[in-house]
Structure formats: structure tokens, C-alpha cells
Amino acid sequence: MGGREIDHLVLAVRELETAALTYQRLGFKLTPQAQHPFGTGNRLAQLQGNFIEILSVTEPDWVSESGEEKFSFGAYNRNFLARREGISMVSLQSTDWLRDRIDFEMAGLSLHAPFAFTRMAVQPDGTEVEMGFDLTFAFDPSTPNVVFFTCCHRHSLNHFYKVDYQAHPNGAERISAVFIESTDVAGTERRLSALGVNRTLFEIVSGQRDAFTGFAMDVSDLSVTRQILLDSGLDLDNAPDAVTIGPDSTFGVTVKFREEVGA
């Protein structure tokens, strides 16, 4: 099934290093901390074609406020964290941010002004490379806590994705699904259709709130993953075909580890 693929998940946490230590206990290898010019900092779990962005407000004085047309990434995540930790946004892959804007406007989605930034990234050998990103935020005012955006990388992906950062002890390979709780399942389905996503990547359940509640992770060898998670000492659901952890121990998200079909 075609459609837009997942670029990354924004996992908003109040204490970046505390969350990083937990995800390392779960067998993820994380990149060094990077700093955004608008007040947030992150560490990444790079996977095969997508990634988890563990993000916190690290420089609150740098955060600007949103305006009528201007979207403030820092302010949105600061306000999200005032309520709870968890997945604050889902990013979809893009090769042309201008095309994204046209597609979303034609689909009737609400857009803010174009959003672009650069940051430095530490390579495995210790050198730094400048990374550039063009983001297109597509809003639905009725679900302000379920935010999607596309991320167009203005740099070679060879400078971003590094084999040294993608070799996770737990065998993590890729994000294979995002879980959404919705008060209006049919409306959420329509929104995903307007975004043009690969529908197989999203699992929706009816509930009392609108939120991203977790994600599924494909792993290369579930028996290896299972042992690492058992050794972590955190509470988990150890089923024959998957191991599930969270949401309390994983900063507001449920994480399901499962072996890739056909692996």
C-alpha cells in the first residue's frame, strides 16, 4: 500500500537525559544531544529509514510564542509538556515541501507559514555537520493534540543516517506502526486520507481523548529483544509474539516490540 511513510516520532519528555537513560536501558543506541535554535534539544534513535526523536525544552528562554500564522515548535512542545509527556507529533517523509503545501491545501488542511531551520549534528567520528530541515505542519483545529507534519531533509541522508547510530543492541529496525486514540474514528480516518499516509502504519482505537498513544517497533530477533527488556527491570507484557512496555515507564507511550513479518 503506497502513501507517505513515517519520518520520525517526536517523544516529548521533561528531562532529556533521564529519558535517554531509560531508552538506552531498553537497548537503543542514541545520538549525542543536539540543540535546536528555538529552544528544544534532542537525542535520536536512528532506525532503518525513520527514527525516534526524544525531545525536551532545553533552553526555555529561546522559545518564541506562536502567532496567528506563525507556528512555534518550541512553544507547542512546552505547552504539551505542561499537560503530559508522550508523543507530541508525528512527522511524515517528504522530498518536496512546496509540493506538500499544495497537496495539503487542496485536501483542505490548515497550514501555518513555512518553517525551516538548521542545526549541527555530531557524526560518529566526532566531527559536526550542518543539517537543514523544511517542515510543513498540517493542522486540524478539532484535534490540537494530534499534530502531523512533513520533514524535508535539506542535506544528504548519508550525513544524517549513520550505521554506527543504527546498530541497536535490542535489534530495533524501524517504526512499523503508530497507535492513535480517537474520539472520532471516522474523522481521524478522513484526516489520514487527506494527509496521504501509508494507512498500514496507523492503528486507531476509539477512546475518550485524541492522542498518539504509542508505537510498534520491528526488531530483527525478538528473543534477543525480549532478554534485554527483561534485564531492564521495567514492567512489561511478555507475550509469545511481542513484548510490550509502558506507558508509565516509557514517558507516556506504549512501545510494542515485534519481529518483522517474514523475518
Query: What grid cell was written down for 248?
Result: 508509565
| Residues linked to residue 178 through DSSP beta bridges, in sequence order | 202, 215
Query: What grid cell was written down for 154?
Result: 535539506
Give 10-residue mean pLDDT values along the chain (263 residues). 91 98 97 95 96 98 86 95 97 95 93 89 86 90 90 82 94 98 95 96 97 98 96 94 96 95 56
Query: DSSP label at 199?
Result: G
Bridge-based pairing of strands 172-182 and 202-206 is: parallel
| pLDDT value at residue 261 | 65
| pLDDT value at residue 84 | 97
Q: Which CATH superfamily is domain 6-165 in?
A: 2,3-Dihydroxybiphenyl 1,2-Dioxygenase, domain 1 (3.10.180.10)
Per CATH, 6-165 and 170-259 having the same topology is answered yes
Burial of 117 (0-12, 13-18, 19+ CB in 10 A): middle
Q: Which CATH superfamily is domain 170-259 in?
A: 2,3-Dihydroxybiphenyl 1,2-Dioxygenase, domain 1 (3.10.180.10)
Task: Give the residue extent of every domain in the chain.
Answer: 6-165, 170-259
| pLDDT value at residue 121 | 84
Q: Where are the beta strands (DSSP E) in the chain?
A: 6-12, 34-35, 40-46, 51-57, 86-94, 110-111, 115-122, 128-139, 147-153, 172-182, 202-206, 211-219, 236-239, 242-245, 254-259
For residues 228 and 196, give the distance between their C-alpha atoms in angstroms, rounded to a whole number.
Answer: 36
Give the residue among 148, 143, 255, 110 at the shortest CA–CA distance from 209.
143
| pLDDT value at residue 236 | 94
Residue written as cell 507511550?
253
Identify whether the C-beta of residue 81 lies closer than 8 Å to the C-beta of residue 90.
no
| pLDDT value at residue 1 | 55
